[in-house]
Copies of this chain bind each other. A is one copy, B any other.
């Protein structure tokens, strides 16, 4: 069942429309409860909606924005998934995050008016562009929007700090287990299966993100499979033993 488009902005069916349908507005978006509109009333959502630009879905590998490019907008992932990464002075890539529907990317560009990272689609994805100057204006008039955006940025900070802890203190097993749990939780938030999902990123990306080599990631996944904690079929992951996975993430010694 695909969404039927009546005119440029209005659609008649959205409930089970294609995930990549890009002309849906915020108020009919399935993600409104976990995305930017959270904590806004209907009228405010409409105002927010009016500044958001939606474009056709982008293909796997396409960039949403590039490091050092002039900052203009933040973006909400509507469908698909995105990887954010930066290239260091030494020329090596550092994956700074994976983003799923309902999550906001590009906030690292505000500080210097240029993006500190690049973002590219890991699969075909729909993205909502939110021009930041207009978001700023709107925030002047809608206190709850300003507050919510402060909260979003603060959340990014706390998540980065949790990741710091993960990299600084935890073993390879813990890091991989934690990432699996994180993806699982974010899936659940979107009312998808917490136990089964498909990883949109490569092993290389996972390793890069977690400060590990591809080989180590592969070995950890094999090990967790052998322990019947995960079932790993290429990119298809099934969490077979949730408690066990949490135990590994928390540093239980499973020699």
Contact = CB atoms under 8 A, between A and B. Distances in A.
Contact of A161 (B89, B116, B154, B168): B116
Contacts of A107: 153-154, 157
Contacts of A160: 157, 160-161, 164
A40 to B, nearest CB: 16
A111 B154 contact: yes
A161 B250 contact: no
Contact of A164 (B89, B156, B164): B164
A105 to B, nearest CB: 11
A96 interface: yes
A116 to B, nearest CB: 4
Given A146-B136, A161-B96, A110 B151 contact: yes
Given A151-B110, A164-B164, A169-B211, A146 B139 contact: yes
Interface of A: 86, 88-90, 92, 94, 96, 107-112, 116-117, 136-137, 139-140, 143, 146-147, 149-158, 160-161, 163-165, 167-169, 208, 210-211, 250-251
11 contacts: A88-B169, A110-B151, A110-B154, A111-B155, A116-B158, A146-B146, A157-B157, A157-B160, A160-B160, A164-B167, A167-B167
